[in-house]
Chains A and B, each alone.
Chain A
Amino acid sequence: MQVAERPLVNLALVRWHLTASALFMAVSMLGGLAYAFQFNQLYPFPGVEWLSPGRVRMVHTNIAAYGFIANAFIAGLLFAIPRLTRKPILSDQLGWVIFAAWQLVLVLTVVGMLAGYGQAVEWGETPVFVDPLVLLGLVLLVINMSVPIFRTEEAGLYVSLWYFLAAFAWTGLVYFMGNYLPQFWVPGTAGAAITGLFIHDLVGLFVTPIGWGLMYFFVPLLLRKPIWSHALSLIGFWGIAFFYPMQGVHHFLLSPIPMYAQYGAIVATIAVEIVVLTVIVNFFGTLHGRSEAVRGNLAIRWFYTGMIMYTLTCLQCAFQVTLTFQKIIHFTDWVVAHAHMVMFGVFGFWIYGFFVELWPRAWGRPWVMPRLLTAHYWLTLIGLALMVIDLTGAGLVQGFIWRSLGHWGESVLASMPFWWVRTLSGLMIIGAQGFFFYALWATARGPVPARVPLPVGVATEPIG
């Protein structure tokens, strides 16, 4: 049979999605840095319409989500799903079509937003004319990736695949809801409720389930032991699936949206933070007895650092969602700190872990200069920690000055030192990526070993 002769994992697709992810990460970070300089009144391109800070901010956030994170997640799915199901993806040609379409979407998104066609939907600023192409790409991706899951002859579906299947159902629905309803049909306050749902679901129903699904795949694989508790995996999955989709309004607390929706969102948010603790306990239970791997295995170190960040953000979320906290912190840099801790500190860090594991496999070459990767880890971690602490403090200062009815300029002037530290922390993070890019480049261009040391493209022992 033709299918049986294909290699299980298409490593070329993994390779190019990872490469695209790294390049878009650079675009996103440089955009973020330029935007940070605006707050020091030192914007590098003043008066240039196409590089106006407001437009560049949209590039920073959207390319982080759809360029850096989505590309790396597709690479992870391309690697994990065939190995979990022992079936290749539906079609390699379709995989290349999706790859090309997705990069086209990203380039059109950047050009469109810089040209002034950004959409007023947070995390969905993708211009209106690009949205159909995004949806088409998502549908094709779901078809290509879910066929092996339905064709598998394995005795049971592993927890990773639960998350992937649920995410496949969620992502297209979420994208359609958020980009079309508030734009064309639902104006005003009710539209805000739907936008809140979109902001939340993009993180909760696309990034989170695929991220955790890949954790359930990579962590037991690298630790060479099964996940600690199947029961906790079940509770975690169903808890997230049930509570995560019903808390969108918590992005617009104390707004004109009906209060019952706001209270519902708050209760569901606190509930999901309790539920995700089961997931975290499960992973630390898995690590128990193998904790030396955090030192010896850089991918594991990235994964567990991300999980600690995840624990911190969830804990923070359970408090900041209350109306008491909202009085002060809403609209401040506190929220910006929170967003960076989630999107970069958790998912970005996990993606670095995927890179550490997958980049040498995808290129068939061992890491050149692995010490650069260690430097990358420490500098990125310290940079992000500095940014989060700094902006959290800035948020409190801003919130209390506003409440005390100080002149608006007072809050801006008081924020200036914090914004300098933020720029510095951004420079640290970008400096760290310098090491990372050099290591990626040197490895990809490095010598191919005489014998391939890694079992690429073959099914290994079943997991779990």
Chain B
Amino acid sequence: MEKFGASFLIAGIVTFFLGFFLQGVMPVLTLSSIPTRSVEDVAQNVIPQFEQLATDYPEEFSRFFGKPDAASFAKALVIGRDAYVAEACWHCHSQFVRPVSNEDLRFGPVSTPEEYQNLMNLPHLFGTRRVGPDLIRLSGRYSNDWHAAHLFKPTNVAPYSVMPAYPWFFDEKKRPNERGLALIAYLQWLGSWVDEAAPTSSR
């Protein structure tokens, strides 16, 4: 009798690990040939929009991030990513371009695994729903000022928008605070590694 009961427990464990191997471990093994980059490594390539932030908001920028260099960019990317996670932005914005439905025409080159093989994607932020557009090719599409105005009150720049306002990313003078600057830096970073003229994938 006890053996009989244990067989269902064992069945549960065996089937779990079979599925885990096929759908989890095997993709990990397939992708393990791609080296994983650290946040510091990713931040070596300081994007011009980050340097622009230092001139757009000099007082705030120097207070929170000092000089716009690789170290401060890495710090901003992490704070921005954490704000993105805390507000669950990924519930309404995806971060991958699919090879179907004209998405490469709308957003840009189709996503490849290498793009995500870094610690900025721990955890990954692929997303689950597109109430708003995909963000993985966002870099450089809009100015820093546009992002600031949009985050402060989205309907200011897009009257139809159903995105919430995020006044807590701004100080009393309505200028972006540490999280606000970091989030703008993070959003401007998304897709900055892709050269629009030379798509990373021919799919």
Contacts and interface: CB of A to CB of B under 8 A. Distances in A.
Interface of A: 38-39, 41, 43, 46-47, 49, 52-55, 57-58, 116-122, 125, 146, 149-150, 152-153, 156-157, 161-162, 165-170, 173-174, 177, 181-184, 186-197, 201, 205, 238, 241-242, 244-249, 251-252, 254-258, 260-261, 264-265, 323, 326-328, 330-332, 335-336, 398-399, 402-405, 408-409, 412-413, 419
A-B complex: 5 closest residue pairs judged by Cβ atoms: A245-B19, A169-B12, A188-B116, A116-B86, A246-B19
Nearest to B103: A402
B65 to A, nearest CB: 20
Interface in B101-136: 101-103, 105-106, 111-113, 115-119, 121-133
A216 to B, nearest CB: 13
A120 B27 contact: no
Interface in B39-81: none
A244 B102 CA distance: 32
B188 to A, nearest CB: 19
A156 B121 CA distance: 49
B121 A191 contact: yes
Contacts of A116: 86-87
Contacts of B1: 152-153
Given A54-B91, A188-B117, A120 B18 contact: no
Contacts, number: 248
Contacts of A194: 24, 28
Contacts of B31: 188-190, 258
Interface residues of B, number: 75
Interface in B1-50: 1-2, 4-6, 8-13, 15-16, 18-20, 22-24, 26-28, 30-32, 36
A405 B106 contact: yes
A16 B177 CA distance: 45
B119 A186 contact: no
Given A146-B9, A256-B113, A261-B30, 14 more contacts: A47-B167, A57-B91, A118-B85, A165-B8, A189-B113, A193-B27, A201-B19, A245-B15, A246-B22, A248-B19, A248-B23, A256-B112, A258-B113, A261-B22
A161 B23 contact: no
Contacts of A248: 19, 23-24
B27 A189 contact: yes
B16 A255 contact: no
A88 to B, nearest CB: 17
A189 B136 CA distance: 14
A161 to B, nearest CB: 7
A146 B10 CA distance: 13
B16 A331 contact: no
A119 B16 contact: no
A170 B12 contact: yes
Contact of B13 (A58, A169, A399): A169
Contacts of B20: 173, 177, 197, 245
A177 B119 contact: no
A168 B161 CA distance: 44
A195 B164 contact: no
Contacts of B165: 46-47
A412 B164 CA distance: 14
Given A165-B5, A257-B27, A261-B22, A170 B16 contact: yes
A169 B16 contact: yes
Contacts of B99: 254
Nearest to B27: A193
Contacts of A122: 128
B164 A121 contact: no
Given A157-B4, A168-B12, A405-B105, A120 B90 contact: yes
B186 to A, nearest CB: 13
Nearest to A264: B22
Interface in B129-159: 129-133, 155, 158
B8 A162 contact: yes
Contact of A255 (B22, B98, B101): B98
A120 B100 contact: no
